[in-house]
Amino acid sequence: MTERRRALGQRGEELAEKFLCQKGYEIVGRNVRTKRGEIDLIAIDNDTLVFVEVRTRSSVTYGSAAESVTWKKQQKLRELALDYLRTYSAFVPAFRFDVVGIHCPRNGEGSEESKIDHIKHAF
pTM of the model: 0.87
Torsion of CA 113, 117, 118, 122, to 10 degrees: -150
Domains of the chain by residue range: 3-119
Q: How far apart are CA 30 and CA 39, in angstroms?
A: 7
Fold type of domain 3-119? Trna Endonuclease; Chain: A, domain 1 (3.40.1350)
Q: What residues contact residue 16 under an 8 Å CB cut-off, 6+ apart?
A: 40, 41, 52, 54, 100, 102, 116
Q: Render each residue's pLDDT in the chain as its tens digit; 123 residues.
A: 688 888 888 999 999 999 999 999 999 999 999 889 999 999 999 999 999 999 998 877 777 777 889 999 999 999 999 999 988 767 788 999 999 999 887 654 444 578 899 999 998
Q: What residues contact residue 92 under an 8 Å CB cut-off, 6+ apart?
A: 49, 85
Position 89: which residue type? S
Q: How far apart are CA 41 and CA 16, in angstroms?
A: 9
